[in-house]
Amino acid sequence: MSPHVVGPDEAGVRADVIVARLSGAPRSLVSDAVKRGDVRVNGVAVKASYALEDGDTLEYDVRSRDPLVATPEDIDLSILYEDDDVLVVDKPAGMVTHPAHGATSGTLVNALLGHLESLPGDALRPGLVHRLDRDTSGLLVIGKTEEALSRLGIAMKARHIKREYLGLVHGVPDHAKGTIDGPIGRDPQNRMKYAVLGDGKPAITHYEIREAFPKHAELVFRLETGRTHQIRVHLAAMGHAILNDPIYGREEARFGLPGQALHAWRLAFDHPRTERRMEFEAAPPPEYEHARHLLTRKD
């Protein structure tokens, strides 16, 4: 570890801030070092927020992350449709869409490569036209050829690919249907979250009440844009957070859900080669249906 004696001008500053300054490493790598116990003050591992004192001996070991690689894995896929150009799958809740630091295996991409061996596009996101959050289940279309992936990508940007979600929310919206138009960006108070911000990227979500329960409701969502966590951020801002959302709402163990009660249930697009309209629907998983049943109670 590299030792550093804290000076008077550094007293009161967070340990991770000084380590980032001294090492020149991004905060994400400093955070990794903290989690490993590789940031120490006077020989003791400290939290990132630890306030340094004049004369402290700060030691740290910040390492570069191993490069990410998407490798084939033998993982079962729920395939609704497949031909030479496209693949439509129903992703289970709890599965990350593509490899990332903290989730390097067991992802949908690992499963796709195990099924197809190779896919066009980005090395870590091959074949992906769009994504779903880890705990959001439902439909995704995959481009199996360069041409298919390109045409589907163009269709997505032009909003010609239609996606509908089902979600269980806290409370019942005042209006049976409506539109949430709120730009989304990184939450300045918590970089792990997103929020509706004036200088964010445009984001539009249409919603409609499918069924109202005593204290909750099931909504249908239609997206015009595809921002990260869009539905979850918009509904939380609206005061009707998605049920069991660990980031924008609250976790409730009684429902037995792996995460937020959100499911991509309908998908429609023009086939990239034949131009035939393709429409798919997938029922929510049993955990979602169980939670929905619990909401029908009046207690």
Every domain of the chain with CATH number 3.10.290.10 lies at: 2-60
Task: Give the pLDDT score at 100.
Answer: 75
Please tell me the distance from the alpha carbon of residue 185 to that of residue 191, in angstroms, as a whole number.
Answer: 10
Of the two residues 224 and 207, the one the predictor is more confident about is 207
Q: Is 240 a residue whose pLDDT tops 90?
A: yes
Q: Burial-class residue 219 by CB neighbours within 10 Å (0-12, 13-18, 19+).
A: buried
Q: In the structure, what pLDDT confidence band is assigned to residue 154 with cuts at 50, 70 and 90? A: very high
pLDDT digits (tens, 9 = 90+) for 66-96: 666 778 899 999 999 999 999 999 999 999 8
d(CA 235, CA 242): 7
Residues facing 40 on adjacent strands: 45, 59
Q: Dump pLDDT digits (tens) for 243-273.
A: 999 999 999 999 999 999 999 999 999 999 9
Query: Is the pLDDT score of 118 beyond 60?
Result: yes
Block residue for tokens 């490899």:
99
pTM (2 d.p.)? 0.78
Q: Give residue-wise pLDDT tens across range 157-213.
A: 999 999 999 999 999 999 999 999 999 999 988 877 999 999 999 999 999 999 999
Q: Point out the residues that are catalytic.
A: 133
Nearest to 296 by CA among 218, 183, 188, 203: 218
Q: Would you put residue 107 in left (φ > 0), alpha (ψ -120 to 50) or beta? A: beta
Q: What is the pLDDT of residues 103-114, one digit of tens each?
A: 677 899 999 999
Share of the chain above pLDDT 90, in %: 73
- The bridge status of strand 177-181 relative to strand 44-45 is unpaired
**For residue 12, which phi and psi values (nearest 5 degrees)?**
90, -10
Torsional class of 257: left (φ above 0), alpha (ψ -120 to 50), beta (otherwise): beta
pLDDT of residue 217: 97
Q: Is the pLDDT of residue 290 over 50?
A: yes
Q: Average pLDDT, whole number, for the chain?
A: 91
Predicted local confidence at residue 299, as pLDDT:
45
The CATH 3.30.2350.10 portion of the chain extends over 79-295
Fold of 2-60: 3.10.290
Domain spanning 79-295: CATH superfamily: Pseudouridine synthase (3.30.2350.10)
